[in-house]
Amino acid sequence: MSLNDLSATQAVDKIQKGEITSEELVQACLERIDQIDGEIEAWAYLNPDYALEQARKLDLIRQAGDPIGQLHGIPVGIKDIIDTAHVPTELGTPIHSGRVPFKDAWVVSRLRQAGAVIMGKTVTTELATYAPGKTKNPHDPNRTPGGSSSGSAAAVASYMVPIALGSQTNGSIIRPAAFCGVFGFKPSFGMIPRSGVLQQSLPLDQLGVFARTTDDVALLTQVLAGYDETDSATTFLRATTSLISVAAEEPPSPPKIGFVKTPVWDRADEMCKGAHEELCETLGENVEEIELSPSFGHVLDHHKIIMEADLAYSYEHEYESAKDLLSNSLRSQIERGMSYSAVAYHQAMSQQVVLDDILGGLFQEYDAILTPSVSGEAPIGLDNTGDPSFCTIWTFCGVPALNIPCLPWRKRNADWHPACGSKK
């Protein structure tokens, strides 16, 4: 096993025991990037010298016997909408070319405190919306990796880094995680503070993580969860569950799972439908199909009004000063956003509370909901990032969502190497 194949949890253990150094791990990841990123293009900014400098300093701290953090020496990819001090953060648009923040986002500060190595900035779509960046799917470069957290998902899937950060305002973590075949986790709204992150929509923006194991999802989320008085979504001090302990434990009893097709089931292709039917058969009596209330039938409309109105507000400067540099897709969203009335916006917002109450009742009866992450496999072509509609309900309601890469494509392609798209 190459060092870049290690999960973050495995690498932390080996670094703590002195079996490997952070410099060796980072060097292995850099060699992997040099080997395959010319085709995948997951990185918006990468400075190998800066990454290795951080690793060497962290190795000296460990060698001196000083206290170390939960991610000591582990390289992490940072989506290019998350401010990183003295590192270009260009938001996926030429409008902000050359932008270099002077201060870390809250989550980047948290990573540094935990001893992580800031590996570089991963590609985002244009201002984290729908116009694709340069990244290609690591399994098939002719297919989309999804978006908007394209680079983070592709970098983790192709073993360039073990973990990475992303964001989701509609389907921007779950969709690329599904298309690239990795775990993607969007925790509950407000669990991870957003200060220093590009703002699209305050009621919808959520941060999350990418990893190749559930242990790594738990580890990274545990580090990032916290209280930030400058983020209105995290204004309540609250204890955080030990996700690492939960991930390591067997459930006390078999979980009761509700299978939800959602109002957009007709958008799922036959492979997706068949895969979920097979999964439900495998789970047997632990899963039962449930129907959501008809109130969920208009979620896509409510979400669209809120998101596009907020885009018009958040990106007013970009639209007014450099409209010609925006994609047709984003210009259209902003212009539609300008047309919505305040009444329509508040009516849409009011549905969040209504639908949250309904879901709260479901979670009194079911431990988890099983539902598609996407409508099918990653579409061929790089001109769009795929349909996010299967993610919309869960983003709109702010409930945690986890993409689990476990469906039958892995069986059909058992000899397919997910790191580089070649037979092994």
- Cα separation, 369 vs 221, whole angstroms: 20
In the predicted model, what is the mean pLDDT of residues 294-312?
A: 98
Catalytic residues: 79, 148, 172
User: pLDDT for 41-98, tens place per residue?
Assistant: 999 999 999 999 999 999 999 999 999 999 999 999 999 999 999 999 999 999 999 9
User: Residue 423: what pLDDT?
Assistant: 27
**Biggest alpha carbon–alpha carbon distance for the chain:** 61
- Cα separation, 30 vs 25, whole angstroms: 9
Please count the helices (runs of H) and the strands (runs of E) in the chain: 15, 12
Q: What number of CA atoms fall less than 13 Å from residue 306's CA on the CB side?
A: 24
Q: Compute the residue count for the chain.
A: 424
With a cut of 70, say whether residue 416 has pLDDT above it: no
Backbone phi and psi for residue 184, each to the nearest 5 degrees, phi listed first: -130, 130
346-349: long-range pairs with CB below 8 Å, 24+: 347/302, 348/301, 348/302, 348/303, 348/305, 348/306, 349/203, 349/306
Mean pLDDT, all residues of the chain: 94
| Band of residue 422 on the pLDDT scale cut at 50, 70, 90 | very low
Q: Are 178 and 373 in contact (CB under 8 A)?
A: yes
- Cα separation, 326 vs 303, whole angstroms: 22
Question: Any idea which residue has 């969920």 for tokens?
Answer: 296
What residue spans define the domains of the chain?
3-250+408-423, 257-398
Q: What angle do CA 392, 394, 398 make, to 5 degrees?
A: 120
- Cα separation, 46 vs 49, whole angstroms: 9
User: pLDDT for 209-232, tens place per residue?
Assistant: 999 999 999 999 999 999 999 999
Instruction: Tokens for 314, please give them.
Output: 């958040």
User: pLDDT for 358-368, tens place per residue?
Assistant: 999 999 999 99
User: Residue 407: what pLDDT?
Assistant: 61
In the predicted model, what is the mean pLDDT of residues 157-168?
A: 98
In the predicted model, what is the mean pLDDT of residues 20-44?
A: 98
- Cα separation, 389 vs 375, whole angstroms: 8
With a cut of 90, say whether residue 409 has pLDDT above it: no
With a cut of 70, say whether residue 413 has pLDDT above it: no
pTM for this model (two decimals): 0.95
User: Residue 238: what pLDDT?
Assistant: 76
- Cα separation, 325 vs 7, whole angstroms: 39
User: Residue 235: what pLDDT?
Assistant: 73
Per DSSP, the residues of 350-380 read HHHHHHHHHHHHHHHH-SEEE--SSSSSPPB
- Cα separation, 93 vs 79, whole angstroms: 13
CATH architecture of the domain formed by 3-250+408-423: Alpha-Beta Complex (3.90)
Question: Any idea which residue has 């923040």 for tokens?
Answer: 101
User: Residue 6: what pLDDT?
Assistant: 98
- Cα separation, 278 vs 280, whole angstroms: 5
Beta-ladder partners of 380: 143
- Cα separation, 171 vs 369, whole angstroms: 17
